[in-house]
Structure 1
Amino acid sequence: MLSLLNLTITLIDIALLLYVCTAIPSSHRSGQGRSIFLVALLFGMAYDNLVVAAGNWFIGEPWFTPVSMMRFYCHVLTLPFLSLFTYSIIREAGLALGQSKVFLMLSLLVTLSTLIYGISHELVGLQLVETSQLGIQRMTNANGSAPIATIVTNLFTIILSAYLWRKTGWKVLCLGSMFIFVVNAVAAGKPWGFIAGNLVEIVFVLSLIITHQNITTNRYPAKQVTA
């Protein structure tokens, strides 16, 4: 039953990916960059859920371990760019902070730092072990340390999206960021945590898509465009 849920989430991810590719115009370079990020993020999410859904049938196959490793590569190499996604939103909203070179450098620093940390601590020497939780067999990282890069990126996004909310009244991105952060924190280490994480990712990525679409199509409900 839960494998079917993962498969359903995969189909939702694919549907959202196709929506981003076809329904959101991105004439500006910044909008195109955000669309590329969303496509990469949704591809990784769809791939992750599809592999997890296939675990009960193929976990004993020799090719399943390298296929499962790609789940971690997709996550580590994509998520850090969420910081630049949020920077782009603030910049295109016309807020003074988005025009600051110091803010740009800070966003780049957070992105590069979390990317390098994720590669060095989560991908280098990556070892997977078989895990069975709630009747689902899947491969997990043998190193059970906290995902520091993900936590830092989420916190940075929450802070910036709260600033966006305060200055423009647009709260979707902030609420989505806080929601996924709280749910993942509560679910960490729980047997059902990976299911909760996959479900809340849908809510979070919807907040990203809605925010991206509104600002890209000039329907951004800004109340104020000053720092």
Structure 2
Amino acid sequence: MLTLLYVLFVSAFAYASWQAFRIYHVGRSSYALLLLFVLVGLIYDTLTILIGRFVGEGEALKSLNGGRYLVHALVTPALIIFAFGVLRNAGVTWAQTRTSHTIVCVFATLLIAIGAYEDVFALDLHVREVADTVRYVNEGGMKGPPIPAMISIFFLIGAGLVLWRRTGWRLLAAGSLFMLIAAGVGTGDRFYFGNLGEIVLSAASVLTARRFLSRQQGIPSQETARSKLVPIDDHS
């Protein structure tokens, strides 16, 4: 049953990745490229879970699952930079400065370092079988929910709320909030709820990228919008 579910998950992430690639191809936005990296990582994550039963317990599957944790450590915080880029393109004033951009990038890098400790250097994989899936889970590192992932989700929720207030666009906030709920539900043997949340967040992120990171779909910044309201003297 879960194998069929993960076939759908992999297909959904593959489609989302294709759409993200098209957005990047049109707008050449580095923020859209970061989203694409995240989505490709999620293909790897869910595909590894999907093929686990066929590969079987052993070093090969253990290595593949080690890659899953490496992917999560390296690419999940990239969503913070992606969301910040959306705010920049949406004309949010504080997101326009080089200082804010530097702070966000440094913060995301710090989260990557924390994730590398949890999911790479302190990696301790143990096999776990749930229904018809076989995968390895990390029992090393810091206990509790993954800190970088949770902080990334909260940042996305905050960015989504700012975007909602600035432009009326609700999808990023809604998708991020759904991800937070799914992450809370998707613990232990219900891990697949977490992947479901990732699909909803991915869909919301792709649609948001299409709205704000594509050259054809972008909206004017606040400064541009104000300039259009400046009256032009009629000397005729």
Q: Above 0.5 in TM-score?
A: yes
Question: Partner residue of 2:151?
Answer: 152
Question: How far apart, in 2, do the equivalents of 1:219 and 1:23 lie?
Answer: 10
Deviating above 3 A after TM superposition, structure 1's stretches of 4 or more consecutive aligned residues are 22-28, 217-222
Bigger shift: 84-93 or 103-112?
103-112
1:141 corresponds to 2:143: no
Cα RMSD of the aligned pairs, angstroms, is: 2.0
Question: How far apart, in 1, do the equivalents of 2:81 and 2:145 lie?
Answer: 23
Question: Partner residue of 2:84?
Answer: 87
Question: SS at 2:134's partner residue?
Answer: strand
1:219 corresponds to 2:217: yes
Question: Partner residue of 1:54?
Answer: 51
Question: Partner residue of 1:205?
Answer: 202
Query: What's the offset of the Cα at 1:10?
Result: 0.8
Question: Larger Rg: 1 or 2?
Answer: 2
Question: How far apart, in 2, do the equivalents of 1:221 and 1:165 lie?
Answer: 14
Q: Is the 8 A contact 2:23 2:32 kept in 1?
A: no
Gaps of 5+ in 2: 224-236
Question: SS at 1:63's partner residue?
Answer: helix
Tell me which of 110, 115, 120 is aligned to 1:113. Answer: 110
- The number of equivalent residue pairs is 220
Question: Percent identity of the aligned residues?
Answer: 23
User: Structure 2 vs 1, CA of residues 35 and 102 (structure 1 numbering), >3 Å: closer, same or farther?
Assistant: closer
TM-score w.r.t. length of structure 2: 0.85
Question: SS at 1:26's partner residue?
Answer: helix
Tell me which of 85, 94, 99 is aligned to 2:96. Answer: 99
Question: How far apart, in 2, do the equivalents of 1:23 and 1:101 lie?
Answer: 24
Q: Is the 8 A contact 1:161 1:174 kept in 2?
A: yes
Q: Is the 8 A contact 2:24 2:33 kept in 1?
A: no
TM-score w.r.t. length of structure 1: 0.88
Question: SS at 2:87's partner residue?
Answer: helix
Question: Partner residue of 2:4?
Answer: 4
Question: How far apart, in 2, do the equivalents of 1:105 and 1:221 lie?
Answer: 23
Question: How far apart, in 1, do the equivalents of 2:156 and 2:76 lie?
Answer: 11
Q: Is the 8 A contact 1:86 1:160 kept in 2?
A: yes
User: Structure 2 vs 1, CA of residues 102 and 175 (structure 1 numbering), >3 Å: closer, same or farther?
Assistant: same
Q: Is the 8 A contact 2:53 2:134 kept in 1?
A: yes
Query: What's the offset of the Cα at 1:136?
Result: 2.0
Question: Partner residue of 2:174?
Answer: 175
Question: How far apart, in 2, do the equivalents of 1:167 and 1:112 lie?
Answer: 27
1:42 corresponds to 2:39: yes
Question: How far apart, in 2, do the equivalents of 1:70 and 1:173 lie?
Answer: 28
Question: Partner residue of 1:18?
Answer: 18
